[in-house]
Amino acid sequence: MGLVSLGAGVAIGYFLGTKTGKEKLDAGIDRAKQTAQQTWEREDVQDFVAKASDTATKVSHDVAESAKKAASVASDSLKKAAEKADDAEEKVADVVDEAEETVAEKAEEFRAPQTKTTYNGDVISDPGQSTERKGTDWANEGGAKP
């Protein structure tokens, strides 16, 4: 098979390389050009080309109109989403304000003086006050002397 292909290639190359081969090739190209031109100029071909052109124009207009509608819908959706986000942002801000107020109230309650009961039932109204009781301090209650 390889030798047959090689032989055919050499024969075609030789033929095209000769003056007669070139003339026949040029004549074949000219005939193809003339046939193509005649085909192009036929009325049924021109009708088909006109219909194809009209269809392409209509389709491109339809696509452009659909793209405009899609862009409009997308724009409206984005506007609605932005409005909802603004509403949500306001709600979140309200919740944050309420949380800050609650935290501030609870912090104030925590800072307020609290009554604390010691292990033996004595009441200390201020956790920062002295731990002395009746002249002794708690570290020495167990019998340890200062």
pLDDT digits (tens, 9 = 90+) for 106-120: 777 766 555 454 445
Q: What is the pLDDT of residue 117?
A: 46
pLDDT at 88 over 50: yes
54-86 pLDDT per residue, tens: 999 999 988 888 888 888 888 888 888 888 887
pTM above 0.75, yes or no: no
CA-based nearest residue to 25, from 37, 34, 12? 12
Contact 130, 119 (CB under 8 A): no
90 contact partners, CB below 8 Å, separation of at least 6: none
Chain CA centroid to CA 42, Å: 53
- Binned at pLDDT 50, 70 and 90, residue 37 comes out as very high
- Binned at pLDDT 50, 70 and 90, residue 128 comes out as low
Parse the chain into domains and list their residue ranges.
13-109
Q: What is the pLDDT of residue 56?
A: 92
Q: What is the pLDDT of residue 113?
A: 54
What is the maximal distance between C-alpha atoms in the chain? 138
Q: What is the pLDDT of residue 114?
A: 52
Pairing relation of β-strands 136-137 and 123-124?
Answer: unpaired
Contact 81, 88 (CB under 8 A): no
